[in-house]
Amino acid sequence: MPGYLADLAVPGALELAFVRSPFAHALIGKVSGPAVTATELGVGDLRLGGHGVAPWPWPALARREARFVGEAVAVVWAETRAQAEDLAESVEVEFEPLEPEAPLRLFERTIDAGAVEACFQRADHVLERTFSCARQTPLPLETRGVLAHFEAGRLTLWSSTQIPHILRRGIAQALELEESAIRVLVPEVGGGFGLKAHVFPEELVAAQLARRLGRPVRWIEDRRENLLASVHAHDNEVLMRAAFGADGRVLAVEADLRCDVGAYSVYPFSASLEPATAASAIFAAYDLQGLRVSARAVTSHRCPVGAYRGVGTNTAVYVTERMLDLIARHVGLDPLEVRRRNALRHLPCTTLGGRELDSGDYLELLRRVESVSGYEALRREQAKARRHGKLFGIGLALFNEHSGTGQSEYRSRGIEEVSGLDACRVRVTAEGRIVIHTSSVEIGQNHAPAYRRLTERMLGVEPGRVDIEEGDTDVCPPGTGAFVSRGAVGVLDAIAGALRLAGEQDLAPGTDVTCSIDPKQVFPSGAHLAVVEVDAVTFVPRLRRYLAVEDCGTLIDQRTVSEQIRGGVAMGAGKVLLEESAYGEDGQPLAATLLDYLVPVAADIPRIEIEHLVSPSPISAQGSKGVGEAGTIGAFGAVANAVADAVAPLGAELLELPYGPQRIFAAIQLATTSKQKKGRRPGG
Amino acid sequence: MNVKISLVANGLEWAGEVEPRLTLADLLRDHLALTGTHLGCEHGVCGACTVLLDGQAARSCLTLAVQADGRQVTTVEGLSDDLLPRELFQCGFCRSGFVCSAEALLRREPLPRAVELPELLAGNICRCTGYEPILEALSARLPG
């Protein structure tokens, strides 16, 4: 595909612009001007089926009321984007602001496993803390975009998407078209990180207008729209209680998660995405005797919450790893030792949260982190730095994560819209070239070397003879797309299956075979270490060093794995230190530009040291596990703990992300005030 | 009222009438078909749209086309692929901006210290790579 979506030259394409709500909650009155509203558009809702999730669909255009700032209320079009924006500005909407609605509960997941009560009764210590994970947004550098063209009864939709087949399904359903009447094409994608794994209102609008107007219709999102009205992520508050012995052994954990999922339930994941993934990931790398979790999705007048690299696992690992450091401090043990004492020792096993961990060696991960980082020397360096008045912190994280979620898991969560299957079609052309089509899509992961290497290994075909063509629903087999780190799991298994079938036909020209796989989740793991220095005057935290020991099973292409880990760590560090889609009390977004929504730049990220440990998965055919999210997830624990460790000598306790200078300053202030109060207490 | 301008883009002369509000980025992308320059934020922060204006780095989203009148514009299409090859990047969207920023930097300061590169390139956002491959490729060009 030549270029990114905005680079596609389509003669005669009309440009869309949206009229968006300036209010968090308002009745929509008269709309004057050359705009199309929901009534005139006539597009149905994206139905989110399944048990357990209350339907709360995000309409293509707001109907009676707007429910968050930035929600699309009407649409206009013109020959150029500038003209379209002028038109949008000329549209007058009579809004009647409303009071916020009481939060609705859309989904709840509970886990109650093991002897929770008994553990809390006999534990030497109980710690309770409330953590919060900021609302954030994936911020791919390329914003969303869609180009729709309806011709001869067929809709062609170019979209910057991670999910071509799910998009086709969603559009078919909302526009009442046959799926076969829709072709989704994916050009080069300028990053996704989960954001582009949803079917969006703007895509429905563009498709419907292309059908209506008989001309190609294009919409390129601007950054303000992206920050306000694409998807956000996380926004979780977690009340956690841990029962543990004087030896630092954790017996049982209770957690109550409240996930603010915003104004609507996203398609295809629904509002269950964040709470469902977070719930089962709490303390998932550790040996517990009791676990009780309640995780709820509740609505608000904010942008809907969807997927962002790591999804709920980020929150779960953050609260787990922060709690372990607080436990270590409470019993006077080193954080590494506390993790060693609590890490799961015998894999495979099923955790109390229901995760069927396929393989891994968590103690070895910790040993590697200890030896490669020179842990003891590092602690001595820290002691020295502290004597010189420096705020120097070391943070650890041990974690696992799910990758390659299949059909049965989605069905059990009540999600019908995600097939969960991964598929590959292999063709041999008349010239003898091997063409690999998959249900996945290239969004920067660099699939080609891994696919070519596998082809070479299995069939002895030199890489130069292999072409990879993804992102075209007319020629690619139906499947799930590119998310939940499924590339090295189901997609690779499907490729291997299709290559085997093609091999059985001796790769004869004309060979055309397809293999579809229902993958079972496999669990990569990792132990990460971060070193952070917090400026003693400005309280700006700086990441000084980072070590990731990762285990994603068999390495298919080591360079690709390292790139995913490194980029993931940088993104995770940004999420811990900088990123926040903040809102004011009135529901107005406070981060509408990249000067308010901060992400890391080159000066913020040190060289990331990466070590590979290999525990092949007995489940995936290649022994590999997904690696797209592990870097981000690990950084949530390690970077957060490093910042917290840096300011711990001041008595400050950090609980609310992101750990920027304001939060650090507030925590230090709080610690100083409470110390003074204690000091003043009579007889104290 | 449109304004007549002329400029040299990647060595080729271009003359035409433009709206005063037209940005240099939109001129390059929509009128000159130089779509290698990408728009990431359109408010001057992400650096994706960086081009060279008379040899200096400029945000083409914040520069009006009329400001480029009579000047030399160089975009990623006019620069060598060798400085920062495509395979250093993942999604590649930020690449054109990095190429132009790096080129401007090396023209201004042919021998920057490797340790200063992260600060010198802090005006460009990359969401995929963690920056290391980009910085290493530039460091590798410097002696010592």
Cα separation, A33 vs A74, whole angstroms = 10
User: What residues form DSSP beta bridges with A522?
Assistant: A403
Number of domains present in the structure of chain B: 1
Cα separation, A187 vs A154, whole angstroms = 19
Residue of A571, A590, A578 lying closest to A224 (CA atoms) = A590
Find where tokens 């910085």 sit: B135
- For the record, the structure tokens of B144 come out as 């010592």
Cα separation, B55 vs A337, whole angstroms = 56
Residues of B in contact with A602 (CB under 8 A): 117-119, 121-122, 124, 126, 131, 134-135
For B123, nearest residue in chain A (alpha carbons): A601
**Can you tell me the ipTM of this complex?**
0.98
**A206 burial via Cβ count (<10 Å: 0-12, 13-18, 19+):** buried
Q: Which of A370-384, A637-651, A663-677 has the lowest mean pLDDT?
A: A663-677
Q: What is the bridge-based pairing of β-strands A250-262 and A290-299?
A: parallel
Could you tell me if A679 and A670 are in contact, meaning their C-beta atoms sit under 8 angstroms apart?
no
Letter string b/e over residues A359-377, b meaning 16 or more CB atoms within 10 A of that residue's CB: bbbbeebbbbbbebbebee
CATH 3.90.1170.50 fits A5-101+143-189+196-229, yes or no: yes
- For the record, the structure tokens of A151 come out as 């011709």
Handedness of CA A529, A550, A325, B131 (dihedral sign): positive
- The CATH number corresponding to A421-517 among 3.40.50.720, 3.40.190.10, 3.20.20.60, 3.30.365.10 equals 3.30.365.10
Share of chain A above pLDDT 90, in %: 93
Show Cβ contacts of residue A598 under 8 Å, excluding neighbours closer than 6 positions.
Answer: A574, A578, A579
Q: Is the pLDDT of residue A218 over 50?
A: yes
Mean pLDDT, to the nearest integer, of A299-309?
Answer: 98
What count of CB pairs under 8 Å joins A to B? 118
Q: Which residue has the higher pLDDT, A48 or A203?
A: A203
Same fold for the domain at A233-404+522-673 and the one at A421-517? yes
* DSSP sequence for A540-588: -EEEEEEEEEEE-BS-S-HHHHHHHHHHHHHHHHHHHHT----B-TTS-
Residue A550 CB-half CA count within 13 A: 33
Mean pLDDT, to the nearest integer, of A448-476?
Answer: 95
Are A140 and B93 within 8 A, CB to CB?
Answer: yes
Residue of A543, A520, A549 lying closest to A631 (CA atoms) = A549
- For the record, the structure tokens of A561 come out as 């794995």
Question: What is the DSSP-derived secondary structure letter of residue A411?
Answer: H
For B44, nearest residue in chain A (alpha carbons): A594
Mean pLDDT, to the nearest integer, of A226-243?
Answer: 98
**Residue B55 region, left (φ>0) first, then alpha (ψ -120 to 50), else beta?**
left
User: What residues form DSSP beta bridges with A182?
Assistant: A155
Cα separation, A590 vs A596, whole angstroms = 7
Are A140 and B91 within 8 A, CB to CB?
Answer: yes
Mean pLDDT, to the nearest integer, of A497-508?
Answer: 97
Q: Report helix angle A335-342 to A311-331, nearest 10.
A: 110
Residue B70 vs residues A102, A253, B14: alpha-carbon distances, Å:
60, 69, 10
* DSSP sequence for B63-85: SBGGGGTT-EEE-GGGS-TTSS-
Q: Which CATH architecture describes the domain A233-404+522-673? A: 2-Layer Sandwich (3.30)
Residues of A in contact with B122 (CB under 8 A): 601-603
- Mutation test of the interface with chain A: which of B30, B91, B96, B98, choosing the one with the most A Cβ atoms within 10 A? B91
Question: Which of A9, A443, A594 is closest, CB to CB, to B46?
Answer: A594
Extents of the domains making up chain A: 5-101+143-189+196-229, 233-404+522-673, 421-517
Mean pLDDT, to the nearest integer, of A281-310?
Answer: 98
Residue B122 near chain A (CB below 8 Å): yes
Cα separation, B72 vs A634, whole angstroms = 46
Q: Is the pLDDT of residue A50 over 60?
A: yes
Are B129 and A567 within 8 A, CB to CB?
Answer: yes
Residue B117 near chain A (CB below 8 Å): yes
- Mutation test of the interface with chain A: which of B131, B135, B139, choosing the one with the most A Cβ atoms within 10 A? B131
Show Cβ contacts of residue A322 under 8 Å, excluding neighbours closer than 6 positions.
Answer: A129, A131, A637, A640, A641, A644, A654, A655
Cα separation, A533 vs A385, whole angstroms = 10
Cis, bond preceding A658 (omega within 30 deg of 0): yes
Cα separation, A490 vs A495, whole angstroms = 9
Residue A337 vs residues A481, A528, A637, A640: alpha-carbon distances, Å:
40, 14, 16, 18
* DSSP sequence for A119-149: HHHH-SEEEEEEEEEEEE----SS--EEEEE
Q: List pLDDT tens digits, range A566-585.
A: 999 999 999 999 999 999 99
Cα separation, A57 vs B74, whole angstroms = 47
Cα separation, A635 vs A342, whole angstroms = 20
| pLDDT band of A681, cuts 50, 70, 90 | low
| pLDDT band of A9, cuts 50, 70, 90 | confident
Minimal C-alpha gap between A321 and chain B (Å): 23
User: What residues form DSSP beta bridges with A513?
Assistant: A426
For B136, nearest residue in chain A (alpha carbons): A607
Cα separation, A651 vs A673, whole angstroms = 11
Could you tell me if A418 and A268 are in contact, meaning their C-beta atoms sit under 8 angstroms apart?
yes
Residues of B in contact with A80 (CB under 8 A): 30
Cα separation, A629 vs A204, whole angstroms = 29
Residues of A in contact with B121 (CB under 8 A): 601-602
Residue B137 near chain A (CB below 8 Å): no
Residues of B in contact with A595 (CB under 8 A): 43, 45
**Residue B15 domain boundaries:** 1-144
For B89, nearest residue in chain A (alpha carbons): A444
Share of chain A above pLDDT 70, in %: 98
Q: Is the pLDDT of residue A684 over 60?
A: no
Minimal C-alpha gap between A304 and chain B (Å): 21
Q: List pLDDT tens digits, range A90-147.
A: 999 999 999 999 999 999 999 999 999 999 999 999 999 999 999 999 999 999 999 9
Average pLDDT of chain A is: 96
- For the record, the structure tokens of A264 come out as 């609507």
Are B91 and A191 within 8 A, CB to CB?
Answer: yes
Residue B92 near chain A (CB below 8 Å): yes
CATH number for the domain that contains residue B57 = 3.10.20.30
Residue B126 near chain A (CB below 8 Å): yes
Q: Is the pLDDT of residue A619 over 80?
A: yes
Q: What is the dihedral of CA A664, A665, A671, A674, to 10 degrees?
A: -140
Residue of A394, A398, A454 lying closest to A424 (CA atoms) = A454
Residues of B in contact with A223 (CB under 8 A): 40-43, 46
| pLDDT band of B144, cuts 50, 70, 90 | low
Q: Is the pLDDT of residue A284 over 90?
A: yes
Cα separation, A545 vs A651, whole angstroms = 24
Cα separation, A334 vs A332, whole angstroms = 7
pLDDT the model gives residue A31: 97
Residue A361 vs residues A324, A340, A365, A551, B60: alpha-carbon distances, Å:
19, 12, 6, 9, 51
